[in-house]
Amino acid sequence: MTPRRIFRGWVPLLLLVLFVIILTTGVLSGPSEYQKADLSFVQQQIDQSAGAKPETRVVDATIQDSKQIIRIELGNGKKYESSFATEQALVLANELKQQNIKYNVSVDRGNVLVSLLLNLLPVLLIVFLLLFFMNQMQGGGNRVMNFGKSKAKLVSKDTPKTTFADVAGADEAIEELQEIKEFLENPGKFQAIGAKIPKGVLLYGPPGTGKTLLARAVAGEAGVPFYSISGSDFVEMFVGVGASRVRDLFEQAKANAPAIIFVDEIDAVGRHRGAGLGGGHDEREQTLNQLLVEMDGFDVKGGVILIAATNRPDILDPALLRPGRFDRQIVVDRPDLLGREAILKVHAKGKPISSDVDMLIIARRTPGFTGADLANVLNEAALLAARSDVRFISSALLEESIDRVMAGPERKTRAMSDREKKRIAYHEGGHALVAHALPNADPVHKITILPRGRALGYTMQLPLEDKYLSTRSEMLDRLAVLLGGRTAEELVFHEPTTGASDDIEKATQIARAMITQYGMSDKLGAIKFGSESGEVFLGRDMGHQRDYSEEVASEIDDEVRRLIEAAHDEAWEILVTYRDVLDNLVLRLMDTETLSKDDVLEVFATVQKRPSRGSYTGVGRRIPSDRPPVQTPAELGLVPSKVSDLVKGNGGPAGHATNGGGTNGGGSANGGGVSGGNGTAGHPRPAGQADPGTAGGPAGLGHGDPAQSGPGHSAPSPAHGTPPPGSPPPEGPRIANPWAPPTWDNDDDRRRR
């Protein structure tokens, strides 16, 4: 707190004036004309006054009872005063009376103004403290009595502008917000066809994805008054202040319409009404009610667009999310591969990037990173470059910065014995070896036994592409990879350590989620077990509520244990089979402490991938089909003009058999149909037999012979006989949509059952 903030305003000035008045009153009273004397001297003068000379006789005396002072005046004009105790006042009065000395008793009432100020001083002090604290709560300045006014900030023209060119990785959100900009610039274009601009736009998504950055870009692009405020600025300790601020904010915006209002973290004021023990929060609910009325109430004037951002759209009040208020809800999710590359290029502007840096490779290295994470990666790389006194940011510095963002800084000062390092090497080697041997696990990118952050070592796996779904096989392989470290400890050292606690926790969570949430149990079926209890105060899920019996709970525990044990056994089999490879990996780790992707592939050169498991065999009558998925035109190598031929059932280009077979005719490229088969070059197959494909093409793609089958048509089967020369090929069944799943009438596998 600076002295300027303390001493500004009218309250300190008032206190200064009072102090000057009190000081002036004391100065104007002047010095006293009485000499200080001892009480014994004064009493002696009084006792000797009867027989004393006229010039030494006491002629006048005054007793001031309030101040406990006695003053005497002698015949020669000298004046003395002395203090006395409370019980001595009566004694002095009797002595003066006995000596026949004229005396007076006075009670000094003092200065009336000074007395008044002294009496009011405590009250003034309390008022000053109250106003001072209110001033601090309102952010200082002259807003002490204006706490009901809006605290929104109007973006001025001098503010550095952020445009849509500074935002990357959120193309859909930019497109939606561009529409608002176009409406504000040219409303007639939309009004001519009866279109109305959305009254509210809600941006929601994980933290760090760029919601506030998008709002700043709208402020820089809109060209209209832009008011920015946080949701917490509406809530105060006084009931009704938030609603008053909402009214004042919309009044300012309507006065300058068209205008845009941006409310950051709207969940601070827009939570579900009535939530919590006791019925909710009166002040917040009144603020929300006023916000609802202002957005779409009885008296609504157009021209004001509300943009809000939140991380928790699930806890917002339904009345706030309905059409007419937040008409458009835009998700700002984590960027994909190309989005991450674009974000890296945006944040790389102004930084000396080395020529060997490929932003696409860095984007592949950072799956799941948000825009804030990527900005932090480049900033960390710049800091490392400055610390190392290098002029350019190289790929090695970017790799190190990614590790720092993901796992924390490297702990070079932690000293560990060689025995513990060897345990950590076997643990991380177990993870890596199991991951490399399983067909559905992500490739191993890096292995290190150097402590970083809270980890003593780690194995980094990176997917080849962005994934949004996980199959049952991938989750089972993930369980085996997580238990690979503990399995290696059991295999080599004959006992586990505490280092696998996090792996066990994650594996248990995945296994339980597979059973209770994803329905991946053949025994329990596709049922969700349990429900999350609603929010109490914070809008968070406070616990798990069971909605099943004890018998079902026991079966769930058995299924979870079965999955964990199966993954444990699979990891054990892999490590036992390739124990020599594991030992070689540990020796390399003990020597270099860190292995890159190329080093890992070199060590694992002799490791063969395990065959893909049959993850689902069916339950009851639900027997999975042996018919593979239909192939898209892109997979068949068709140009867009030939897609209509595929839909009609005609053949594709020369050399590729398509879905042109009849009941007994040449089969489809994916082996579909009971009697259908794939014709090969000059060797027609019998009915019902599928051709896996000839050399040079993928399995399932039968290559037709142009000389015998004609361009784009499969060879006819013996069941049809040889058609006469020049006759059109047999027309197969029409497919309304090649991407649609087969109907029950055409599902030959269902008929076979």
Specify if 45 maps to a domain: yes
Choose between 480 and 154: higher pLDDT.
480
C-alpha angle 640/643/648, rounded to 5°? 160
Domain residue limits at 225: 157-272+282-331
Q: Does the structure show a pLDDT above 80 at 201?
A: yes
Euclidean distance between CA atoms 449 and 452, whole angstroms: 9
Inform me whether the pLDDT recorded for 118 exceeds 60: yes
459 is in an annotated binding site: no
**Is 56 a known ligand-binding residue?**
no
Active-site residue, selected from the candidate residues 428, 490, 559, 570: 428
pLDDT level of residue 93 (50, 70, 90 thresholds): confident
181 is in an annotated binding site: no
Q: pLDDT tens digit string along 615-632?
A: 566 666 777 788 888 888
409-457 per-position pLDDT tens digit: 888 777 788 899 999 999 999 999 999 999 999 999 999 999 988 888 9
Query: Looking at residue 302, what is its pLDDT?
Result: 66
d(CA 459, CA 448): 7
Q: Is residue 641 part of a domain?
A: no
The CA distance from 4 to 128, in Å, is 17
- pLDDT recorded at residue 491: 94
Same domain? 188 vs 325: yes
- In the structure, what pLDDT confidence band is assigned to residue 656 with cuts at 50, 70 and 90? very low
Model pLDDT, residue 655? 40
How far apart are the C-alpha atoms of 341 and 365, rounded to whole Å?
A: 11
Residues 376, 456 within the same domain? no
Residue 26 inside a domain? The answer is no
pLDDT digits (tens, 9 = 90+) for 361-416: 999 989 989 999 999 999 999 999 999 999 999 999 999 999 899 888 888 777 78
Whether residues 304 and 268 share a domain: the answer is yes
Q: Is 211 annotated as a binding residue?
A: yes
**What CATH code is carried by the domain that includes residue 569?**
1.20.58.760
- The pLDDT of residue 657: 38
Res 111 pLDDT > 50? yes
Mean pLDDT across 476-502: 94
Q: Give yes or no for residue 199 having a pLDDT over 70.
A: yes
Is residue 493 included in any domain, yes or no?
A: yes
- One domain, residues 324 and 349: no
What is the rounded average pLDDT of the residues 485-512?
A: 94
- Whether the predicted model's global pTM rises above the 0.85 cut: no
* Closest among 12, 239, 282 to 135, alpha carbons compared: 12
The reply to whether 140 sits in an annotated binding site is no
- Region 9-30: mean pLDDT is 61
209 is in an annotated binding site: yes
Domain boundary among 604, 637, 652: 604
Structural domain contains residue 412: no
Q: What is the CATH number of the domain that holds 55?
A: 3.30.720.210
679 domain residue, yes or no: no
Do 197 and 165 lie in a common domain? yes
Residues 450 and 599 occupy one common structural domain:
yes
* 674-to-36, 172, 270, 666, 692 alpha-carbon distances in Å: 131, 45, 59, 11, 16
Tell whether 2 is in a known binding site: no
Based on the fold, state whether residues 238 and 351 are members of the same structural domain. no
Start-to-end CA distance of the chain, whole Å, equals 81
With respect to residue 251, please indicate whether it lies within any of the assigned structural domains: yes
Q: Which helix (H) or strand (E) holds 63?
A: strand 58-64
Q: Is residue 694 a known part of a binding site?
A: no
My answer on whether 457 and 513 are in the same domain is yes
Separation of alpha carbons 467 and 364, rounded Å: 12
- Residues 60-75 have pLDDT tens digits of 888 887 778 888 888 7
Q: Report if residue 542 sits inside a domain.
A: no
Return the top range by mean pLDDT from 37-41, 48-52, 302-306, 432-436. 432-436
- Let me know whether 351 and 496 are in one domain: no
pLDDT at 112 over 60: yes
Residue of higher predicted confidence among 328 and 698: 328
pLDDT of 583 above 90: yes
- Check if 428 is active-site: yes
Are residue 359 and residue 457 in the same domain, yes or no?
no
In this prediction, what percent of the chain has a pLDDT beyond 90?
A: 28
CA distance 201 to 196: 13
Cβ neighbour number for residue 146 with a 10 Å cutoff: 12
Domain end call among 86, 112, 138: 112
Q: CB within 8 A of 565, min separation 6: which ones? A: none
Q: Verify that 182 and 267 share a domain, yes or no.
A: yes
Domain identity same for 318 and 384: no
Question: Which CATH number belongs to the domain containing residue 364 in this structure?
Answer: 1.10.8.60
Q: Which residue, of 573, 589, 604, is where some domain finishes?
A: 604
CATH number of domain containing 208: 3.40.50.300
> How many domains are contained in the chain?
4
